Structure 1
Amino acid sequence: MTPHLKKLSAAGVLITLGIIFGDIGTSPLYVFQTLLTEGGKVNEALVLGSISCIFWTLTLQTTFKYIFITLQADNKGEGGIFSLYALVRRYGKWLAIPAIIGAGTLLADGIITPPISVTSAIEGLNNVPALTASFIPGNHLILGIVIGIMLLLFFFQQFGTKIVGSAFGPVMLMWFLMIGILGALQIMHDPGIFKALNPYYGAKLLTDHPKGFWLLGAVFLCTTGAEALYSDLGHCGRKNIQWSWLFVKTTLILNYLGQGAWVLKQSANFNFIGLNPFYQIVPNPHLLMIPCVALATLATIIASQALISGSFTLISEAVSMNFWPKITIKYPSNIRGQIYIPSINWILCFGCIAVSLYFRTSEAMTAAYGFSITIAMLMTTILMYYFMRYVKHWPVWLVTIILCLFLCVEFSFFVANAVKILKRLFFLVFEFGLIFTMYIWYKARKINNRFLNFIDLKEQIPLLNALSADEGIAKYAGQLIYLTKANNGKQIEEKIMYSIMSRSPKRADTYWFIHIDTTDEPYTMEYSVDQIEKGKIIRVDFRLGFRIQPRVNVLFRKVIEDMLNRKELDIISRYESLSKFKVVSDFRFVILEKFLSYNNVFSVAEGFILNSYFSIKKLAQSEAKAFGLDTSETHVEKIPLVVKPVTNFKLKRIDPYNGEAIPELVLNNQLN
């Protein structure tokens, strides 16, 4: 998104409607219907109590927590749980755990939000008189349309949303205007419905109704898009989101009130089974129902698109912060932040279609929806405590009050949604797989980094100079480049020197060491050069934001061009036959790729983590591809990872002639 659209403007507000509020904006399609279904007998207490709970949930959870407080936790304008984690991670190593759980559950939501939204829109065909007069659209037809839309939606992800993205804002503006007007038309017939905004009716429903507290599981559906709202902060900016929310919330509340007013107008013995109040409040269905269903379908597709794009961004950040294996990430357009991840795209596609086939109706989906998001919201609350207390330095008493309020509300929703876990075992595997992968990758990297041995680079200068000058050794490359993890510019990994010197020594004219530092800022792109031994040993440090893909080949070429322009470097080949023709020296990258050595004795936990890590790594992108290195210029060298070598064993030596053991003392004397 261009920077000027992050400032408060009419264009910014319009784009915000298309990008930010799709998920939460389409919730009237199924929330009130779900409450009527789960509430049992429909009466005034259920209607007024349900709307009251919806209003105060949107006020406390969406408006107060996310719009006013959480949006302040922007990392150079970017939002989302990993941006929040980047702001607070220095205050506790364990904070990686809530970040992982929050990200995993938010991603898991990506396989049920598109099906439930699109299905609830397409089910509106059951209310089109022109269709129902001749035949009733059955579940098979609706299911086929939903799956067709899902396939097209995921297929077109690879081309980006540059062309259709400009239409998102106007379509969602029409959607919010429509739902607000539909609700207002019903309220005109029964203005008394406004009393439902009184919290008394919500409290009375939760305490007096037979299902009472457990109805919160359905109420929670009205705010499920709030976490995604924070994740998309970087696309539109805080001010645009906050001001457009005033309009969005108004239309949402009008629509819920309108649905409630319509229900209260019906007779006491009216049968609400199978009816969706959202479509029942459409006037003149012969004329307006088809346009209404069409607009609802477009709105739910836009909501699904926003969630898919958010999933791509989340995984991209996880890769940058070493929470996820390196995978192929593509950039389908020149719009900043717009990415496409093929593997995640088709996993989500498969998951969405499987959910549609398994649940078949939106009513069945809502019965399993919401559990993941409650966990994601709780994890955000934990991280927000550290942000409010240690980054913003708010007083303890204020932070404690806010924390208690959030935890009380969200834990209630969590308990109410916990009963849904049996109905959603189908995709718990997906949820567990995401969290498991992130946790294993994070823990294995921590174990791996414990055993990195660094040595003083300056002490290696004489050795590297001597090797470079030794013409008795065949030259390996003119310019030899290694990627180093040493944060200290005066150090280098011992394994790199071992790679250069051992076996067949790698003689080169110039040795380059490249270090990549992932910053907490999202879009940093900086570098520095240290000529440790001018023209012979050079270190390049890149500082890249966690949303920047580390395409080392492109970045390094830019550094070379810059140094040549500044006349700091000579890359003409040193071969006599080539130098007189000004032929450029060759460049070769060496990637050191670890494998788990058999010479290890682990604890059960470490063994499980490391074996899982290397199993997952086989499915991930290669190091060379992940760093954007051309394979023709790259050599991958395998090195064993020895974490805990096998030492505690005895090997008995025997005499080859008589088979008797040779005493250790004799053996020691022979060795000495």
Structure 2
Amino acid sequence: MSNPTKTNAVSTAGVLISLGIIYGDIGTSPLYVMKAILGDAPISKVLVYGGISCVFWTLMLQTTIKYVWLTLQADNKGEGGILTLFTLIRRRAPWLIVPAMIGAAALLADGIITPPISVSSAIEGLRILNPDIPTVPIVITILTLIFLMQSFGTEIVGKTFGPVMLVWFTMLGSLGVLSVAAHPEILQAVNPYYAYDLLVNYPEGFWVLGAVFLCTTGAESLYSDMGHCGRPNIRLSWGFVKLCLLLNYFGQGAWLMTKEGSILRENPFYGIMPSWFLMIGIAIATIAAIIACQALITGSFTLISEAIRLNLWPRVKLVYPTNQKGQLYVPSINWLLWLGCVGAVLYFRESEHMEAAYGMAITMSMLSTTTLMSYYLFTRYKSWVAVSLFLLVYLSIESSFLVANLSKFTQGGWVSLVIATLLLTVMYIWIKAFNIKRSLTEYVRLKDFLPALKELSADDTIPKYTTHLVFMTSAPKPRDVESKVIYSIFQKRPKRADIYWFVHVETTDEPYTTEYKVKKLDAGDVIRIDFKLGFRVEQRINLFFRKVVEELVANGEVDITSRYDSLSKQNVIGDFRFVVLEKFLSYENDLPFLNRVIMEWYFNIKKYTSSESKWFGLDTSSVKVEKVPLVIRPVELPQLKRVMA
């Protein structure tokens, strides 16, 4: 693994990668925010100045203060995201797993809506050149290419997209400056009174917040992607990004005031472009909007890796494409998102139909982050006054955005909520099933079975199963082992071996821990190894175990030479065999209806996820997988009466 502090240093490459990875969503908002704010209403000073004032203060309060200044402080060795935030406080407030789950599911749901609307908006912009262009197949093709790129890692993606986004933001700022220079009075919109006047006095002005919210939808993924870029790089690049965004918004407002009294017929984003620059601007905007989906994709990968560690998601395959800290690729989630995106494109067809679904879920995620962040700030600063002020301000802001977005529920907003509910259901099933299994796992003292293990090892009447028998155990205490393991050794098929190894893996809250402990229980013939691995460390137990054994041999702590007389003379190393116990739901269960449904769905989902041996990175040629029935509540049988013949 790379140096964990690598992304904590500011670098030109880090800033460039952050531009390419995390600002696509929020960075392309000028394409549609002002157009959405005006809608079909006549252009007026109240609407234009009020809309820009709302955008300015939303970016200031929501994105800059809440996320860039405050929330980015809540990192776990450089990693961010709503589940990382929960990790930092879960020991003191385990009940906060509820808003954490809701926020995580909502963020994943938004990851399915964001790419289609971003790419569709870009391709539909080409209708200026060709009104009859078929957008749906082009959008699906581009989405497929973007998801194919993910396997190369976000470092490669960021370096590819970063220079394009640098050009994009430079263009935004330059066009905004030119427009504002012609009508500098638009800068008065910084005054929050204009936002108040729009929301309170303008007819149905409050509902404009549903459109204003689109300017900050990428803020949540900005926090989720912190591990890919590093907090200092994000903070430095955000200063440049925010300046360019605001200049462009003010520039659009200046242009709109020249059309006061009329109905908007064209996108103000393109309206501020000189005619000779229009073709270039459309091309750059198209590429930038395509890149916009990257932030949610990378954020989804980070979120899933965290969810797996917290037992909120099935153990799916995780890939680390590069040695760069934080780089992660989750194949199953990548293609699940792709399927969802293609489905959204085929269902909505046009980006204007997707706007209703866009932003609905992310408001729920932001409210969840506010709840968790409030508790985190209290544990850190111990000030009820400051925390109460934070909670009051941001619950008010985000609740207002949520209510305004609910007005779009029947137009398509229900889609993102349905997706979020399905994802939340999977999380609930997984954590509930995990707790049921854990509460019913029976452990026994390994010390009580040491004499029997020694006798079995010396019993020549039983064929030797292997020289080194390695069991994966979930027992957290070194002195314990599952009763099912003892059953497997002595009863299922007596497993005679020279040395018995018990390996336990603990995934830590810190991302890059790589530690182990060795405990010899019986003169070197019964050995327990405890690995402590960070949640970002690939579970390559086969290699880690081999490394530990090599160190033990080098230190003279264990002899792994084969104990067959003919082989020991040749100094041949004995064979190793891993045994992994995989549970299945026994038919001999009498469960309450809800628990039965949960466990049935748990095992049905588990069929399509990585096996225990694959998850731990074990060599399949030396692994024995044994199926163990999980009896949660035995069926009560009727009393049998023997009838004599």
Range into which the TM-score falls when normalised by the shorter chain? over 0.9
Q: Which piece of structure 1 moves more, 194-203 or 562-571? A: 562-571
Are 2:571 and 1:582 aligned? yes
How far did 1:565 drift?
Answer: 2.4
Aligned to 1:251: 244
The 5 A counterparts of 1:481-630 are: 481-630=470-619
SS at match of 1:90: coil
> Which has more radius of gyration?
1
1:420 and 2:408 aligned: yes
Per-residue Cα deviation, 1:474-496 (whole angstroms, up to 9, x for no partner):
11111111111111111111111
Partner SS for 1:181: helix
The alpha carbon displacement at 1:211 in A equals: 2.1
Per mean C-alpha deviation after superposition, the further-off stretch among 599-608 and 514-523 is 599-608
Tell me the equivalent position of 1:663.
none
What amino acid is the match of 2:123?
A: I
How far the C-alpha of 1:579 sits from its partner, in A, is 1.4
Out of 186, 193, 201, the position equivalent to 1:193 is 186
Does the aligned pair in 2 maintain the 1:5–1:11 contact within 8 Å?
A: no
The 8 Å contact of residues 320 and 547 in structure 1, kept in 2 or not, is answered as no
Which residue among 427, 432, 436 is the counterpart of 2:421? Answer: 432
Question: Aligned ranges for residues 169-180 of structure 1 at < 5 Å?
Answer: 169-180=162-173
**Distance in 1 between the 2:619 and 2:121 partners?**
47
1:91/1:386 contact within 8 Å kept: no
CA distance in 2, matches of 1:387, 1:310: 21
| 2:355 aligned residue | 366
Whether 2:24 is the aligned partner of 1:22: answer yes
8 A Cα contact 2:222 2:295, kept in partner = no
Name 1:126's counterpart in structure 2.
127
Indicate the residue corresponding to 2:378 in structure 1.
389
C-alpha distance in 2 between matches for 1:379 and 1:58: 19
Cα drift, residue 353 of structure 1: 1.8
1: CA distance between counterparts of 2:551 and 2:286? 51
1:282 matched to 2:277? The reply is no
Task: Say if 2:22 is the partner of 1:43.
Answer: no
- Please give the per-residue CA displacement for 1:243-291, whole angstroms capped at 9, x wherever unaligned: 322221111111111111111112523x424x2111111113xx42232
Q: Distance in 1 between matches of 2:7 and 2:511?
A: 17
1:666 corresponds in structure 2 to none
Alpha-carbon contact 2:147-2:334 (below 8 Å) kept: yes
Residue type of the alignment partner of 1:137? P
SS at match of 2:408: helix
1:137 is aligned to 131
**Residues 1:638 and 1:232: Cα distance change in structure 2 (over 3 Å):** same
Paired residue for 2:99?
Answer: 98
Using a 3 Å threshold, how does the CA distance of structure 1 residues 375 and 10 change in structure 2: closer, same or farther?
same
- One-letter code of the match for 1:505? P
- Looking at structure 2, the residues matched to 141 and 371 of structure 1 have their Cα atoms a distance apart, in angstroms, of 28
Task: Normalising by structure 2, report the TM-score.
Answer: 0.96
Task: Using the TM superposition, give the Cα deviation of residue 428 of structure 1 relative to its aligned residue in structure 2, in angstroms.
Answer: 4.1
Pick closer, same or farther for the CA change 1:592–1:4 going to 2, 3 Å.
closer
Kindly indicate whether the alpha-carbon contact (under 8 Å) linking 2:515 and 2:531 is maintained by their aligned counterparts in 1: yes
SS for the counterpart of 2:574 is coil
Change (3 A) 1:639 1:463: same
CA contact (8 A) 1:115 1:353 kept: yes
Question: For residues 405 and 281 of structure 1, what CA distance do their matches in structure 2 show?
Answer: 35
Q: Deviation of residue 435 (structure 1)?
A: 1.2
Counterpart of 1:637 in 2: which secondary structure?
Answer: strand
Give 1:181's match in structure 2, choosing from 168, 174, 190. Answer: 174
Instruction: Answer yes or no: is 1:227 the counterpart of 2:226.
Output: no
Amino acid at match of 1:228: S
Query: Which residue identity does 1:172 align to in structure 2?
Result: M
| Pair 1:448-2:437 in alignment | yes
Is the CA contact (8 Å cut-off) linking 1:309 and 1:338 kept in structure 2? Answer: no
CA distance in 2 between counterparts of 1:182 and 1:103 reads: 37
Partner Cα separation in structure 1 for residue 150 and residue 393 of structure 2: 39
Counterpart CA distance in 1 for 2:571 and 2:99 is: 57
Specify whether residues 335 and 4 from structure 1 end up closer, same or farther in structure 2 by C-alpha distance, changes over 3 A only.
closer
Please list the CA deviations of residues 367-389 of structure 1 after superposition, one character each: whole Å capped at 9, or x if unmatched: 22101100111111111122111
Deviations 1:443-492 (A, max 9, x none): 10011100111111212111111111111111111111111111111111
2:260 equivalent to 1:272: no
Give a deviation string over 1:339-363, Cα, whole Å, max 9, x none.
3222211221121122222222322
Give the partner amino acid of 2:273. V
Contact 1:378/1:407, CA 8 A, preserved across alignment: yes
Residue identity matched to 1:511: Y
The alpha carbon displacement at 1:95 in A equals 1.8
Q: Deviations over 1:69-112 (max 9, x none)?
A: 11110111111112111111111222222221111110111111
Q: Is the 8 A contact 1:444 1:613 kept in 2?
A: yes
| 1:654 positional shift | 5.0
Aligned-residue offset at 1:17: 2.1
Structure 1's 239 and 335: CA in aligned 2 closer, same or farther, altered over 3 A? closer
- SS of 1:412's equivalent? helix
Rounded Cα–Cα distance in structure 1 between residues aligned with 2:630 and 2:79: 37
User: How far is the alpha carbon of 1:148 from its aligned partner?
Assistant: 1.9
Identity level (%): 53
Q: Tell me the SS of whatever aligns to 2:293.
A: helix
Contact 1:321 1:546 in 2 (8 A): no
Q: How many residues align?
A: 642
SS of corresponding position for 2:292: helix
Letter in 2 for 1:244: S
Alpha carbons 2:361, 2:417 under 8 Å: kept: no
Contact 1:320 1:549 (8 Å CA) reproduced: no
* 1:205 aligns to 2:198 (yes or no): yes
Structure 2 SS opposite 1:334 = coil
Match of 2:207 in 1: 214
Partner Cα separation in structure 1 for residue 643 and residue 124 of structure 2: 85
Contact 1:34–1:363 (CA under 8 A) maintained in structure 2: no
Q: Which moved more, 1:52-61 or 1:311-320?
A: 311-320
Note the 1:71-82 alignment, pairs <5 A.
Answer: 71-82=72-83
Query: For residues 93 and 595 of structure 2, what CA distance do their matches in structure 1 show?
Result: 22
What is the CA deviation profile of residues 30-77 of structure 1, one whole-angstrom value per residue up to 9, with x for unaligned ones? 11111111x623211111111111111111111111111111101111
Q: Tell me the TM-score normalised to structure 1 length.
A: 0.92
Find the residue that maps to 2:407 and give its secondary structure: helix
User: Runs of 5+ in structure 1 lacking a partner?
Assistant: 658-672
Aligned to 1:668: none
Mind listing any 5+ residue stretches in structure 2 that lack a counterpart? none
In the alignment, residue 628 of structure 1 is paired with which amino acid? G
Cα deviation, residue 164, structure 1:
4.8
Aligned partner of residue 115 in structure 1, secondary structure: helix
Q: Tell me how far apart the structure 1 counterparts of residues 295 and 151 of structure 2 sit (CA, whole Å).
A: 14
Q: 2:374 and 2:154 mapped to 1: Cα distance? A: 36
Counterpart for residue 10 of structure 2? 8
Q: How far apart, CA to CA, are the structure 2 residues paired with 1:491 and 1:585? A: 26
Secondary structure at the counterpart of residue 188 of structure 1: helix
